Amino acid sequence: MSLESKPKPLTLSDAWRQGAEQLRQAGVEEADADAELLLLYLLGLSKAALLRDWRDPFPDGKMGAWNELLGRRALGVPVQYLIGEQHFYGRAFKVSEAVLIPRPETELLAEAVLEIADRLWASPSAIAPVVLDVGTGSGILAVTLAKERPQWQVLASDLSEDALRMAKRNAGKHEVASRITFVQGDLLTPFLDDNGHPGIDIFVSNPPYIPSSDISGLQREVRDHEPRLALDGGEDGLNPYRIMATQLARLKKLPRIVAWEVGAGQAADVAEFLRLAADWDEIRYVKDYAGIDRHVIAVK
C-alpha cells in the first residue's frame, strides 16, 4: 500500500481562504468579505448555499475567472464594480464605473426624508409630493423613494448620460421606471424658470463634495475607479451646494424639504447657504455612523 495520498482537491473553502490571503497581501482592507463576495458571484451561489457546500470541490473550469477577479480586486478595483452590484435600503442596485458606489450612510438620508415627508403630507387629502433627486448616479435615492412611497412623483437628474442609463436600469429592475422622469443636466438648471417641469416639493441630493485637491489623497479604490464627476466638488468641495442654494429661488416654488448629503466638516457652511437662500422653519443635521454631521435638512 502506498503511503502517498492523492492530492486533495481544492474545496470552495480552500479557494476562499487562499483568495482572502491573496487580497490581504495586496493591502485590501476587507479581504475576507471581498473574497467571499467574489466567490459567491463567480459560482452564482447564495451565502446559505456556500455555507452548505463549502467542502465541495472548486470547479476546475472556473479557476481562470477566479484568478482574474482576485487579480483585479488586488489591483484596487472595488468589489462592487467587479460583481456589478451594491445593496441599498434592502434592495440590490446595479453599479458600474459610470456611477458612485452607494454608501450605507446615504440610507439615513432616505430614512429622514420619508419620516419628515410623512409628517408634512400626513392628511389623507394631501396631494402627494413631487420629489427631485439631483445627481442621481445609480438612482438609489430616486428608486428607493419611489418604491417606499408609491404615490410620489419622482424626477431624477444627472449630468452624466452613462449614469442616467444605469439609474434607468435600476428603476426598471425595481419596476418604478414609469414613475420616474429622468432628466440630463447640471444641478437645478433643467428645472429653473417654469420650463414645464412640475413644482418640486422635496429636493434630495448627494452631490460631489470632495475638494479637488483632496482627490489625489483618497484611497485607490475611490481615486482610481469611482467617477471623478461624482466626487469633485470644486476648490473647497462646496460648489454644488453654493450653486443649488442660489438656484432655489428660481424654482417654480420653494421645496418644503431640502435634504442634502455633505462631506465631513461641511454641514455648517451648507446650512448657511440654505439660510441665506430662503426662510426655513428648521434646519437640522443627521449624523452618520461615525458621528459626522452627514446630512443637512431644511424644512418649511
Which residues contribute to the site for ligand GLN (CB under 6 A)? Answer: 100, 102, 106, 135-137, 140-141, 206-208, 230
- Nearest alpha carbon to residue 203 among 183, 188, 181: 188
Query: Smallest gap, in angstroms, from Cβ of residue 275 to ligand GLN?
Result: 23
Query: Smallest gap, in angstroms, from Cβ of residue 230 to ligand GLN?
Result: 3
Query: Smallest gap, in angstroms, from Cβ of residue 227 to ligand GLN?
Result: 7
The nearer residue to ligand GLN, 137 or 237, going by C-beta atoms, is 137
Query: Smallest gap, in angstroms, from Cβ of residue 204 to ligand GLN?
Result: 8
CA 196 to chain centre: 29
Instruction: Write down the H helix ranges in 95-219.
Output: 106-120, 140-148, 161-173
The nearer residue to ligand GLN, 39 or 259, going by C-beta atoms, is 259
Q: Which amino acid is at 228?
A: R
- Nearest alpha carbon to residue 100 among 184, 166, 147: 166
Strand partners, 180: 154
The nearer residue to ligand GLN, 74 or 166, going by C-beta atoms, is 166
Location of C-alpha cell 452548505? 52
Query: Smallest gap, in angstroms, from Cβ of residue 286 to ligand GLN?
Result: 14
The nearer residue to ligand GLN, 62 or 242, going by C-beta atoms, is 242
Query: Smallest gap, in angstroms, from Cβ of residue 273 to ligand GLN?
Result: 17
- Report the C-alpha gap between 37 and 184 in whole angstroms: 33
The nearer residue to ligand GLN, 207 or 237, going by C-beta atoms, is 207
Strand partners, 205: 134, 260
- Report the C-alpha gap between 115 and 104 in whole angstroms: 18
Location of C-alpha cell 431624477? 156
Query: Smallest gap, in angstroms, from Cβ of residue 240 to ligand GLN?
Result: 9
User: Closest CB to ligand GLN belongs to which residue?
Assistant: 137
The nearer residue to ligand GLN, 70 or 155, going by C-beta atoms, is 155
- Report the C-alpha gap between 77 and 101 in whole angstroms: 12
**Phi and psi torsions of 242, nearest 5°:** -60, -45
Instruction: Write down the H helix ranges in 75-105.
Output: 79-83
Query: Smallest gap, in angstroms, from Cβ of residue 136 to ligand GLN?
Result: 5
**Phi and psi torsions of 44, nearest 5°:** 65, 35
202 in Cβ contact with 129 (< 8 Å): yes
3-class DSSP assignment, residue 1 = coil
The nearer residue to ligand GLN, 138 or 153, going by C-beta atoms, is 138
